[in-house]
Structure 1
Amino acid sequence: MTPEAILADLIQCGIEPSVTPDKTGIVVPAGKLTEAQRAAVLGHKPALIACILESARITSELIDAAMRAAAHWKDDPEEWRRQCLEVPPHQRADLLDHLQSQYPKP
């Protein structure tokens, strides 16, 4: 299983992992992982940490681009934020590319 597949599985199960401040550990709610998930996380820990950090970076940049789009259309920025967070993580990079092409940074 790839780190991306592990992350997708966790998110699909309602588990949003994060990385410890020192970027050496993964934080998940206590008692939420199955034994198979725990083994997958531990078996791919360094690559999974990188995957989680990349996903967080993409999501942050996506929200920034969405705020520029909301300002352009004079829409509710919180609605744009909500809709972006509803996009599955594996599709956020594509949406980010689109929004950045349409609403580049000033």
Structure 2
Amino acid sequence: MKPVDLYRAVHDAGMYLRGDGDKLVVGHCEGLTAELRQLLREHKPAMLMFLAEAHDALAELLEIAMGVCDHYGDGLAARADMKRGCLSTPLHLRNDLLDHFRGCYPALGESVSREWQEDDASIAGRSAPTKTSSPQDVARSSTSSRRSKP
């Protein structure tokens, strides 16, 4: 079983995983079946690697997502919405979202603005509609119609 498939099964059962050193921590483990527990034991090293790689990919995902905001001239509230959307996208869907952004905005991987790195507290509580697609919508359906490039 691939780590992404095992993670998806855990996520679909209402649980979450995180790595803690050489330990695999299962949260909300009420839904942990004997079969899932055994699979997690068998694939523990691969799962820890998957979680570490997902964490590393998050930094790139946020960087490119903020580049998309730059591309459309989004303000601080829209940037905050985009960041929250990326962070709330389940781990097993983040690579799909990253691939979408790379495909639609290939130049962003080369040069991305760092203006978005303002203190999160300064933008908390404000909301405004974004011009960019919802990260969850994009990640849920890689076959859905995508915003055309300007």
> TM-score by structure 2 length?
0.58
Which protein has the bigger helix share? 1
Check if 1:29 corresponds to 2:27.
Answer: yes
Task: Work out the percentage of aligned pairs sharing the same amino acid.
Answer: 29
Pair 1:103-2:108 in alignment: yes
**Partner of residue 54, structure 1:** 53
Aligned-residue CA RMSD (Å): 2.3
Partners of 1:58 and 1:44 lie apart in 2 by: 21
How does 1:87-98 map onto structure 2 within 5 Å? 87-98=89-100
Unaligned runs of 5+ in 1: none
Going from structure 1 to structure 2, the CA distance change for 1:64 and 1:17 (only over 3 Å counts) comes to same
Residue 44 of structure 1: aligned partner: 43
Distance 1:73 1:58 in 2: 23
TM norm structure 1: 0.77
Distance verdict in 2 for CA 1:102–1:90, change over 3 Å: farther
Corresponding residue pairs, total = 104
Deviation per CA, 1:27-84, whole angstroms, max 9, x where unpaired?
Answer: 1226432222111101111111111112222233212211121133232112212333
Which protein is bigger by CA-based radius of gyration? 2
One-letter amino acid of the counterpart of residue 5, structure 2: A
Q: CA deviation at 1:104?
A: 2.3
What's the offset of the Cα at 1:88?
4.9
